Structure 1
Amino acid sequence: MVLEPYVLAVDPGRDKTGVAILTKTAQLVMMDIVSTASVQKELETLLAMYPTITYMVCGNGTNHKVVGSIVKTLAISQERAFAFMNEKYTTEEARRRYFEVHPPTGWKKLVPKGMLYPPVPVDDITAWIIGERWLLVNEE
């Protein structure tokens, strides 16, 4: 049995960082929001839990120099491919996707989706979108 290669995508931030793992066919495996202060430990844990992570992608937005260097160093040390990905407008897209994944209920169904704001951070969904964008550009 051959295990499918995974992509680990990271949305870097000052205080919190979104992470998502996707299959090569862009199916979401998992996503989470972790503290930026503990991002290295969290990524090491994910790499151990998902040994078929082959590609590591980091968004090029807020705090990408710090978080990106951590992701890149881990990728190199574990012989995985690494790339930065343009994350322009991913947060806005993640806010829209939040309501696709969690449709509004009650009176909020009457409010135009463009006027709704997610009640929780969407850094994990942003990482998911960064991973999808990378997969689109790197189709094999």
Structure 2
Amino acid sequence: MDNIIAVDPGRDKCGVAVLDPSGTVLYQKVVKTDDLMKIIGEQLEACGASALVIGNGTTSQTAQTEIEKNYPKLELVEVDEYYTTQLARQEYWKAKPPKGWRKLLPTSMQVPPEPVDDFVAIILARRFLSDRRGE
């Protein structure tokens, strides 16, 4: 299996991640929706991928149409986004633990100070990988 690109599509911004077959994150970023096709192209060139995993949220259909038009050879797989935002917040705090006074509050009561769409993309990719492995 090759690397995979994962996208959490949104109206204004998208989370993008590239993972290798073992689930290791090679790239993650929150990008403007207008830049999504360019970023996918850059990541295809840099990391290679045979599949693109995309969340099934509100703007998914629009994004899928654009991706199919621009990258017709890429396998497009839709993945359920259920509960991914909550999981992404947990992953965010693991990757970037709170500092200062924020350490005193439970992270479950805090909202990350930046978008977590890239962490959602990682979760979508890992769901896809575990489904492929039959876990």
Q: Which TM-score applies when normalising by structure 2? A: 0.91
Equivalence for 1:14? 11
- CA offset at residue 106 of structure 1? 2.0
The gaps in structure 2 that reach 5 residues or longer are none
Greater shift, 99-108 or 115-124, is seen at 99-108
Percent of aligned pairs sharing the same letter:
34
Alignment-mate amino acid for residue 35 of structure 2: S
**Against the structure 1 CA distance between its residues 72 and 58, is the aligned structure 2 distance closer, same or farther, given a 3 Å change threshold?**
farther
Q: Where does structure 1 differ by over 3 angstroms across 4 or more consecutive aligned residues?
A: 72-75
Question: Are the equivalent residues in 2 in contact too, given 1:21–1:30 (CA < 8 A)?
Answer: yes
Question: Are the equivalent residues in 1 in contact too, given 2:4–2:125 (CA < 8 A)?
Answer: yes
Question: What is the total number of aligned residue pairs between the two structures?
Answer: 134
> 1: CA distance between counterparts of 2:68 and 2:86?
26
> 1: CA distance between counterparts of 2:86 and 2:100?
23
Q: Which TM-score applies when normalising by structure 1? A: 0.88
- CA offset at residue 121 of structure 1? 0.5
Equivalence for 1:36? 33
> 2: CA distance between counterparts of 1:55 and 1:139?
15
Residues 74-125 of structure 1 show CA distances to partners (whole Å, capped at 9, x for unaligned) of 442xx33221000111111111111011111222111112101100011111
Equivalence for 2:65? 69
Question: Are the equivalent residues in 1 in contact too, given 2:16–2:28 (CA < 8 A)?
Answer: yes
Aligned-partner SS, 1:138: helix
